[in-house]
């Protein structure tokens, strides 16, 4: 069946060469997976996870023991004092917004030091006109950012932009829809040390989306006060149906919790609606699934490099997230690539994605996600904003084998259409 699907002999032989060459990188990934799996297992044992933790709660969700255990495990594994892990957090953007609105007060300033933040945050912050209802700007919270300098944090400018009103520093670990490297834990450690040296009371939060389990530590282990992410990305392990997490200093997590629910309620309410088993089992699987996704990204990078496309990161670069970007150069290629990934998906393989004005994004975006959990991007997905130079982003893959097949099918289709 493999030969029937990937019928081009030249492409199959190229795939074999890629896998042969990538062996050493795959074995490095296996080591990270092993260590993270050990960390997760240790936390499950310590928390004495049991069948009754999977029971569903209703109403206010008081005494949801499973919820407490989930939050204990997240805090342990991600090395924070406390965690808020809820299916009621609708997305990564929502989780970040909870931190921003939870921590900042009128007159405070948010300073992003890793360039402009992820597209969807523009409306949260109030940079773009259209999303201003309830934005930080409307509440009198100001914002500034430090453009990158040669893809790196411009420390000199960061130091200049820290003012008395600066309260929260934003660091985005993953590149998002930008052609820049993602920042490793070691680099984030340097950023945080720099900030704390200037003004120790500054609060540093890291948008950790797509980064979880790609390295052996998370930013909280190197001084981040808060980290934030989405459960339909890495830590959900492909099983969480929805949700987000916030991990870090207990008082700051509590402030975000008061935003999610209400002051006085905080993290104490919130029926988990039957999600506990999925969230726990997903977190248990996450180190392995992230490893599968990483191997898929490495395979794609080396294959594309052999086909003459520019890739970021390079196939053998040290990775700190699951995203693989490649410069496709034309709109036709980007659309064809995403449509092919969709066609090679286990769900909705028969539908064809088209570019659309997705809420929160400034340019039309094409998104392929034939996923079991809608829009989940730890499952194999491909996307890209329709703007020059037509960069495609590929991420996820519940199994390496699926990622490999889908990437080969997409390349085969482009070859047949003379797009490659």
Ligand X SMILES: *Cc1c(COP(=O)(O)O)cnc(C)c1O
For the bound state, the minimum distance from the C-beta of residue 122 to ligand X, rounded and expressed in Å, comes to 11
Write the CA distances from 265 to 11, 104, 124, 254, 275, integer angstroms: 58, 19, 24, 10, 21
Contacts of 258 (CB under 8 A, 6+ apart): 102, 264, 265, 266
Segment 296 to 335, residues that bind ligand X, using CB under 6 A: none
For ligand X, the closer of residues 92 and 370 by Cβ is 92
Q: How far apart are CA 236 and CA 232, in angstroms?
A: 5
Q: How far apart are CA 232 and CA 244, in angstroms?
A: 8
For ligand X, the closer of residues 176 and 270 by Cβ is 176
- Is 214 near ligand X (CB under 6 A)? no
C-beta atoms surrounding 186 within 10 Å: 12
- Is 92 near ligand X (CB under 6 A)? yes
For ligand X, the closer of residues 166 and 230 by Cβ is 230
Packed helices 276-306 and 9-47: angle between N→C axes, nearest 10 degrees: 150
For the bound state, the minimum distance from the C-beta of residue 209 to ligand X, rounded and expressed in Å, comes to 3
- Is 276 near ligand X (CB under 6 A)? no
For ligand X, the closer of residues 69 and 224 by Cβ is 224
The b/e string for 361-378 (b: 16+ C-beta within 10 A; e otherwise) is: bbeebbbbbbbebeebbb
- Is 101 near ligand X (CB under 6 A)? no
Q: How far apart are CA 140 and CA 109, in angstroms?
A: 9
Counts of helices then strands in the chain (DSSP H, E)? 11, 12
- Is 339 near ligand X (CB under 6 A)? no
Of 366, 362, 369, 410, the C-alpha closest to 391 is: 366
Name the residue whose CB lies closest to ligand X: 92
- Is 383 near ligand X (CB under 6 A)? no
Write the CA distances from 240 to 44, 88, 91, 293, 345, integer angstroms: 17, 12, 12, 17, 19
For ligand X, the closer of residues 18 and 369 by Cβ is 369
| Contact residue for ligand X among 36, 57, 114, 120 (CB under 6 A) | 120
| Contact residue for ligand X among 36, 220, 230, 412 (CB under 6 A) | 230
For ligand X, the closer of residues 140 and 147 by Cβ is 147
For ligand X, the closer of residues 92 and 392 by Cβ is 92
Total residues contacting ligand X (rule CB under 6 A)?
Answer: 12
For the bound state, the minimum distance from the C-beta of residue 205 to ligand X, rounded and expressed in Å, comes to 12
Burial class (CB in 10 A: 0-12, 13-18, 19+), 96: buried
Site string for ligand X, 172-211 (x = CB under 6 A): x-x-x------------------------------x-xx-
For the bound state, the minimum distance from the C-beta of residue 278 to ligand X, rounded and expressed in Å, comes to 17
Give, in degrees to the nearest 5, the angle at Cα 120 between 117 and 124: 85
For ligand X, the closer of residues 360 and 370 by Cβ is 360
Query: In the complex, which residues of this chain contact ligand X (CB under 6 A)?
Result: 91-93, 118, 120, 172, 174, 176, 207, 209-210, 230
């Amino acid at each position: 069946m493999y030969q029937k699907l990937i019928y081009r002999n030249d492409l199959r032989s190229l795939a074999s060469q890629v896998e042969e060459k990538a062996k050493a990188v795959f074995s490095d990934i296996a080591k990270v997976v092993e260590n993270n799996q050990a960390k997760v297992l240790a936390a499950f044992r310590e928390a004495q996870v049991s069948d009754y933790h999977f029971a569903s709660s209703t109403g206010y969700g008081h005494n949801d023991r499973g919820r407490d255990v989930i939050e204990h495990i997240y805090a342990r594994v991600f090395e924070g004092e406390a965690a808020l892990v809820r299916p009621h957090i609708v997305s990564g953007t929502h989780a970040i917004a909870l931190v921003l609105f939870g921590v900042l007060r009128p007159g405070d300033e948010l300073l992003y030091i890793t360039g402009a933040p992820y597209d969807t945050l523009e409306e949260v912050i109030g940079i773009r006109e259209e999303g201003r209802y309830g934005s930080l700007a409307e509440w009198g919270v100001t914002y500034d950012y430090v453009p990158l300098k040669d893809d790196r944090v411009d420390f000199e400018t960061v130091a200049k932009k820290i003012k008395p009103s600066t309260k929260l520093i934003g660091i985005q670990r993953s590149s998002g829809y930008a052609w820049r490297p993602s920042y490793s834990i070691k680099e984030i450690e340097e950023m945080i040390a720099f900030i704390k040296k200037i003004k120790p009371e500054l609060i540093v939060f890291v948008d950790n989306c797509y980064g979880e389990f790609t390295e052996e530590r998370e930013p909280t282990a190197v001084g981040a006060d808060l980290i934030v992410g989405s459960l339909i990305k890495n830590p959900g392990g492909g099983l969480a149906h929805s949700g987000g997490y916030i991990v870090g200093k207990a008082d700051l997590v509590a402030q975000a919790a008061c935003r999610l629910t209400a002051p006085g309620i905080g993290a104490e309410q919130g029926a988990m609606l039957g999600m506990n088993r999925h969230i726990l089992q997903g977190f248990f699987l996450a180190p392995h699934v992230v490893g599968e996704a990483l191997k898929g990204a490495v395979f794609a990078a080396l294959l594309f490099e052999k086909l003459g496309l520019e890739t970021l990161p390079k196939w053998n670069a040290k990775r700190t997230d699951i995203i693989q970007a490649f410069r496709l150069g034309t709109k036709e290629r980007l659309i064809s690539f995403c449509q092919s990934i969709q066609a090679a998906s286990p769900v909705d393989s028969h539908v064809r994605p088209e570019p659309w004005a997705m809420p929160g994004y400034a340019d039309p975006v094409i998104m392929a996600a034939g996923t079991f959990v809608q829009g989940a991007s730890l499952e194999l997905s491909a996307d890209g904003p329709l703007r020059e130079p037509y960069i495609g982003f590929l991420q996820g893959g519940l199994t390496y084998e699926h990622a490999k097949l889908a990437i080969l099918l997409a390349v085969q289709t482009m070859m047949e259409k003379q797009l490659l």
